[in-house]
Structure 1
């Protein structure tokens, strides 16, 4: 594995605990920055790490990309390459995944949009075959 690299100006934190880490392929790190106004956390992915498909019920999520290169994809949609400064607004009930490019560390602030009854439902793994298609299909479009 590559040397630990923090691509963000925010603290990298510690390895994601097993109860959440089981929903990731590869290693990720988590640092909660604040709980006021809704949780905001810095999430750092090692190269090739990605989370499972998941849905934020009721509240949705906002990703503020702070470092490295990564990916975001909605179910049935095309993958979008992410770079520092990109913003992804994920409405409630949208099945999606996000994670690092295979050759880059990746970091984003995860902003949980608060709503009564909000919850995250973790689903199936983004398979190696699905992830490999990103390179094979040559996705390079930036997403803002």
Structure 2
């Protein structure tokens, strides 16, 4: 895949698993809790060019108007050219487990109620998304 593809599935509380592989790319990931007009979303991915995994909340409403701490970054060995992501999305939080928990990123999020789209994206190259499984959580 090159560019972006919005999935037919939506949700606000779910677990998403995905295997992503690439050869030559700048950035690859998923936009979660995306608005219909695509202006609001939380990005989870691998910034290959910068050699880190990330969660970026800059495009979603935040009470901290200083814009500090809107992107969580951790070093990632991009030479593997693949990653397994397990992402838990809740109404106000996101937990990302990278390569079976070798790296974990947890963030509080503040999405709009109707922002529920899920989009796969690449920048600067092509990636393969495999084994995408979404399990919705039952509402209590």
> How would you bin the TM-score normalised by the shorter chain?
0.3 to 0.5
Structure holding more strand per residue: 2
Question: Normalising by structure 2, what TM-score?
Answer: 0.34
Larger RCO, structures 1/2 (Cα 8 Å, 6+ apart)? 2
Structure holding more helix per residue: 1
Question: Normalising by structure 1, what TM-score?
Answer: 0.33
